[in-house]
Each structure stands twice: as structure tokens, then as C-alpha cells.
């Protein structure tokens, strides 16, 4: 018994010393956060964004930076394929596109960059079909859309895209609309979504394919100016026989419009930094309200979207 008491007395100073060392090594959450290169409150990051979503992303970044003045989100707008290539670029923290990473890309990120990526669908939009104001054709079923895209339509209509390679709009058309058929060689490639709008507004036989984020918000003055120059065509409804609907928010939300795609973020961050802060903001109530106000369909919040009639 005396032996155990002696051992106990001998161990007490050691336990005390270890406790002091352990406590000295402990830091408060705020101290640990201040040692990070960036947090949701401060710092700077680079993100790569599909050019199709520039209008709504500009607003999201502006609101976030206004709420957190110590932050700076530097956006590079590019064709989608270039954004996805940035998954392996160290300086790019986040990618925003219409698809997430696949299993091979995830494994490559983990193996080569030692980062476990996160992904979430934050909104949905549609591929709007636009025509010249004088065009007699402003209602199309999906068979006619495919005929325009393949060059087999009864009239000489030219499809126009924001580029013929590497863009999310072209990828969606090839993968989800043509499904193995070949895009006509007469298809036109504009430099950007804004250039598609400009070309269609000046070309009576052009049919443009563009993300609805560029023309779907009737409260945006720049988009109103676009809408005065072109017409948004109606496309065959997915659920109402003999009905044609436009790529407006309510039709996208319930997928009544046939050409709907996701908007996804891919985050490469192993700590709770500015990338996590901006991701949480986009999927949270304020970010989702911004998507709603931009007339996209929020994917993480249900706001009871109602149809809105727009002037032609």
C-alpha cells in the first residue's frame, strides 16, 4: 500500500507538468482561425465560373463582399471545359459549372492535390431559345429543335451558340438534346452569351441557344434591353399536351421546360476558409433568394415560386 502511495506522489508532478504543457499548447478558436490564410470573414480567393452564369454570380459576389468587407472573391469567367480544367490548378479554390466531378477526377484531386473536394447543386437554369423579333417561327417542339441543330429543318435557320467547343451550352445540346446526332456545320459560334444576343438581334434567320440567366430577369435593366432586341421562343412542354412554354423560372422549377440543367459548385478546401464561407452563402437563404431574384430555380430552398408573365 505504501509503495503505491509513493508512486502516486511521484507521478503527481509529472501529471501537473504535462497538464501545463497541454494547456499552453491549446489555442482559442479565434486564435486558430486567425492563423488560417483566409476565413469566411477575411482574405482573398480565386474562383473559376462558367461564363453562362455571369449575371447572377456578379450579384452573389457583390452581396457577399458587402456583407464581409474584408473578403475578396476574384472571379474568372470562362467556357465550362476551361473551368473544369481548373480543378487541378492550385490557385483556383472553387469551380462553378453545370456538372460536378466524376470518380476519376475526384481520385486525381485526392491523390495529386491532397484535397477532398465537396460539391453541391445550388440552382437550376434552362437553355433559352431566342429568335429575331421579326421571325415567324417562335414555337418549336423538340423534334424541330433537333432538326434546327442538325441542319434538317424545313427552313434555313442557323443555330448560334456561345462558342462551338468547351461551353456548357454546347455540351448540354450535344449530350442531352442531340444524343449522338451531329451538330450541323452551319452552326455559328459567338464569343460570349452577350454576343449570341447581339447576333440574333441582327440576323432574322438565326436561332440562339443561351442560358436563361442572361434574359430571364425582367427587373434587370440590362436584360430588359436584351429582351427588346430579341424574342424568347416557346418550346414544347414536358407535361402539357400541345402546349409551349418558355424558359422562365416557374417552368424550370417544376421541369415543365424541357431543357433544364444544374448549377453546381466544386470546392477544393481542406479547412473552413473563404471558399467554405461563400459556398455556405450560396446554398443558404440569402444566396438562394439571390438565385430566385435572378429568375433561376433555387435548388436548396423552396420559396414557393409562382409563374410571372413577361412582356414580349
Confidence at residue 3, expressed as pLDDT on a 0 to 100 scale: 42
With b for 16 or more beta-carbon neighbours within 10 A and e for fewer, the 113-134 pattern comes to eeeebbebebbbbbbbbbbbee
pLDDT at residue 291 is higher than 90: yes
**From CA 263, how far away is CA 43, in angstroms rounded?**
25
Mean pLDDT of the chain: 87
125-184 pLDDT per residue, tens = 999 999 999 999 999 999 999 999 999 999 999 999 988 777 899 999 999 999 989 999
Confidence at residue 23, expressed as pLDDT on a 0 to 100 scale: 44
Q: Are strands 158-161 and 244-245 parallel, antiparallel or unpaired?
A: unpaired
What are the cell numbers at 21? 504543457
Residue that wins the pLDDT comparison between 227 and 35:
227
Poorest-pLDDT segment among 23-37, 134-148, 263-277: 23-37
Contact 94, 267 (CB under 8 A): yes
DSSP state of 53: G
Give 71's contacts (C-beta < 8 A, 6+ positions apart): 38, 40, 41, 42, 43, 44, 64, 65, 274, 277
Give me the domains of the chain, ranges plus CATH numbers.
33-124+262-298 (3.40.190.10), 125-260 (3.40.190.10)
Amino acid at each position: 500500500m505504501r509503495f503505491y502511495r509513493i508512486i502516486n506522489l511521484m507521478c503527481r508532478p509529472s501529471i501537473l507538468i504535462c497538464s501545463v504543457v497541454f494547456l499552453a499548447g491549446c489555442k482559442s478558436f479565434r486564435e486558430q482561425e486567425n492563423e488560417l490564410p483566409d476565413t469566411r470573414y477575411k482574405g482573398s480567393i480565386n474562383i473559376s465560373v462558367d461564363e453562362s452564369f455571369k449575371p447572377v454570380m456578379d450579384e452573389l459576389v457583390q452581396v457577399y463582399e458587402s456583407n464581409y468587407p474584408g473578403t475578396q472573391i476574384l472571379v474568372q469567367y470562362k467556357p465550362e471545359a476551361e473551368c473544369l480544367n481548373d480543378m487541378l490548378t492550385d490557385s483556383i479554390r472553387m469551380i462553378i459549372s453545370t456538372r460536378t466531378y466524376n470518380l476519376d477526377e475526384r481520385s486525381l484531386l485526392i491523390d495529386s492535390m491532397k484535397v477532398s473536394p465537396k460539391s453541391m447543386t445550388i440552382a437550376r437554369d434552362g437553355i433559352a431559345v431566342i429568335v429575331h423579333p421579326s421571325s415567324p417561327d417562335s414555337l418549336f417542339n423538340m423534334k424541330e429543335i433537333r432538326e434546327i441543330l442538325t441542319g434538317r429543318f424545313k427552313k434555313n435557320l442557323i443555330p448560334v451558340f456561345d462558342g462551338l467547343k468547351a461551353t456548357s451550352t454546347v455540351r448540354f445540346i450535344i449530350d442531352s438534346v442531340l444524343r449522338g446526332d451531329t451538330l450541323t456545320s452551319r452552326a455559328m459560334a459567338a464569343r460570349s452569351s452577350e454576343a449570341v444576343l447581339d447576333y440574333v438581334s441582327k440576323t432574322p434567320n438565326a436561332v440562339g441557344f443561351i442560358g436563361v440567366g442572361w434574359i430571364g430577369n425582367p427587373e434587370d435593366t440590362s436584360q430588359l434591353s436584351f429582351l427588346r432586341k430579341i424574342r424568347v421562343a416557346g418550346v414544347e412542354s414536358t407535361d402539357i399536351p400541345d402546349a409551349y412554354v418558355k424558359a422562365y423560372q416557374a417552368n424550370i422549377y417544376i421541369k415543365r421546360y424541357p431543357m433544364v440543367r444544374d448549377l453546381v459548385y466544386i470546392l477544393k478546401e481542406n479547412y473552413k476558409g473563404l471558399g467554405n464561407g461563400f459556398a455556405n452563402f450560396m446554398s443558404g437563404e440569402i444566396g438562394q433568394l439571390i438565385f430566385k431574384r435572378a429568375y433561376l430555380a433555387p435548388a436548396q430552398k423552396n420559396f414557393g415560386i409562382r409563374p410571372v408573365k413577361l412582356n414580349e
